[in-house]
């Protein structure tokens, strides 16, 4: 573009064949002026009047046959006379259009169809376009400089709009359809007010197997609008006196087991908790074992809720045999073997991690 906003000439020289109807002297002068104007933009026009002036002995039959084929572009100046002669295969226009028809099928972008209008007068394209070219885009040339600029762009194949670089194709994540079985299982938990994210328990037994402590670290996700309270209910196989404490909140120290060997107490929650909040919890129970030797530990689910990870650490003596993990249904005395659990002498503990444990079962570790 130049400073006035017009298209500048490309340094590469283009050859353009111009086809038109010799209607009268005025029409010939108009086409000759148009062809000469193209030279300002570095475009060499092939026009019969110019070729005859430069080469008086030009062979016009050869000119018509070879000119379109060796040119970079072909400009066809449409008019009612041009259409009439092309449709009736009359004169030079008829011969040229017969050549154009085959070449146009091979290289349609090579052809530019224009109409020269007086002022801003518009012309019906169907009235001036030959049948073999019906439906093509017709460029109107008038006194408007923009119409000239658009034509020069077409000749040089310069787009009017500069498009952005083509980026990489986006890979959208597709939503998976949940399995029917999982969908049915999830319905169990839809009415719960919370979800367990992590449940980490530590059972520590003293050297004499008399005193032991049960410590629980827990994170829950609030699923209701608000949790007003949270009830803890750890359950043990044997009755024992217990003392309760916490690193995070204030809890009553002296607690009692009920007839089912459960210690039930309310754990205070932040007053402004809401759906989506993650609440950390911690409590510790110090208990007395009535047995002379503690050789098994039962881990019950404290709440019938979905537990994602249950991490159990059982601290024992310096040395101990490998333990076995069993599970037992809530209403069954039959125990099912789950897996072996090795004793780690370095940490003096048994440790096992259960992902998505079944809350209908009690898990029993025996050593």
Q: pLDDT digits over 228-256, tens only?
A: 778 888 877 677 788 999 999 999 998 88
- Say how far apart CA 304 and CA 146 lie, in whole Å: 77
Of the ranges 28-32, 205-209, 338-342, which is most confident? Answer: 28-32
Contact 208, 283 (CB under 8 A): no
Phi, psi (degrees; rounded to nearest 5) at 294: -90, 115
Contact 27, 21 (CB under 8 A): yes
Q: Which of 158, 120, 126, 160 is nearest to 140 (CA)?
A: 120
pLDDT of residue 317: 60
Residue 173 lies in a domain: no
Using the predicted structure, report yes or no on whether residue 193 has a pLDDT greater than 60: yes
pLDDT of residue 188: 45
Using the predicted structure, report yes or no on whether residue 184 has a pLDDT greater than 70: no
Pair 195, 344 in one domain: yes
Element (H, E) at 244: strand 242-245
Domain containing residue 103: CATH number: 3.40.50.11530
Tokens 């003293």 appear where?
206
Residue 170 lies in a domain: no
Q: State the Cα torsion 9-13-14-15 to the nearest 10°.
A: 130
pLDDT digits (tens, 9 = 90+) for 312-338: 666 656 667 777 777 777 666 677 777
Name the residue with higher pLDDT: 275 or 367: 275
- Say how far apart CA 328 and CA 295 lie, in whole Å: 17
Tokens 């333990």 appear where?
323
- Beta strands 361-366; 296-299: pairing state: antiparallel
Residue 6 lies in a domain: no
The average pLDDT across 290-311 equals 50
pLDDT of residue 15: 92
Residue 344 lies in a domain: yes
Contact 31, 82 (CB under 8 A): no
Would you give the distance in Å from CA 27 to the centre of its chain? Answer: 59
Pair 106, 225 in one domain: no
- Say how far apart CA 67 and CA 74 lie, in whole Å: 9
**Residue 218's pLDDT band (boundaries 50, 70, 90)?**
confident
Phi, psi (degrees; rounded to nearest 5) at 181: -60, -45
pLDDT of residue 113: 95
Pair 283, 358 in one domain: yes
Pair 255, 204 in one domain: yes
- Say how far apart CA 256 and CA 302 lie, in whole Å: 16
pLDDT digits (tens, 9 = 90+) for 107-122: 999 999 999 876 656 6
- Please tell me whether the overall predicted TM-score, pTM, comes out greater than 0.75 for this model: no
Query: What domain range is 37 assigned to?
Result: 14-156
């Amino acid at each position: 573009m130049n400073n006035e906003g017009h298209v500048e000439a490309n340094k590469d020289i283009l050859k353009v064949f111009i086809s038109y109807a010799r209607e009268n002297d005025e029409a010939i002068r108009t086409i000759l002026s148009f062809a000469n104007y193209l030279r300002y933009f570095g475009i060499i026009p092939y026009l019969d009047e110019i070729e005859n002036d430069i080469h008086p002995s030009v062979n016009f039959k050869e000119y018509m046959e070879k000119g379109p084929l060796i040119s970079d572009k072909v400009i066809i100046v449409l008019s009612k006379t041009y259409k009439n002669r092309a449709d009736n295969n009359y004169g030079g226009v008829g011969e040229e259009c017969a050549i154009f028809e085959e070449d146009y099928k091979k290289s349609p972008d090579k052809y530019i169809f224009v109409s020269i209008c007086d002022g801003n007068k518009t012309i019906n394209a169907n009235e001036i376009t030959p049948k073999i070219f019906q439906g093509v885009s017709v460029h109107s040339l008038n006194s408007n400089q923009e119409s000239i600029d658009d034509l020069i762009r077409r000749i040089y194949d310069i787009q009017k709009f500069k498009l952005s670089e083509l980026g990489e194709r986006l890979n959208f994540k597709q939503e998976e359809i949940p399995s029917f079985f999982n969908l049915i299982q999830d319905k169990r938990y839809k009415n719960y007010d919370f979800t367990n994210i992590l449940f980490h328990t530590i059972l520590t037994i003293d050297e004499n197997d008399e005193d032991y402590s049960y410590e629980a670290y827990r994170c829950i996700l609030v699923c209701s609008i608000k949790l007003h309270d949270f009830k803890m209910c750890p359950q043990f196989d044997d009755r024992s006196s217990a003392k309760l404490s916490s690193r995070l909140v204030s809890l009553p120290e002296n607690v009692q087991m009920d007839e089912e060997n459960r210690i039930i107490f309310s754990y205070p929650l932040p007053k402004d908790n809401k759906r989506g909040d993650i609440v950390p919890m911690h409590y510790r129970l110090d208990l007395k074992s009535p047995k002379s030797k503690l050789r098994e530990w039962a881990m019950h689910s404290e709440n019938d809720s979905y537990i994602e990870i249950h991490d159990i650490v059982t601290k024992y003596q310096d040395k101990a045999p490998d333990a076995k993990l069993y599970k037992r249904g809530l209403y069954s005395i039959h125990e099912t073997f789950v897996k072996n659990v090795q004793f780690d002498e370095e940490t003096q503990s048994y440790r096992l991690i259960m992902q998505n444990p079944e809350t209908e079962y009690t898990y029993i570790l025996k050593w």
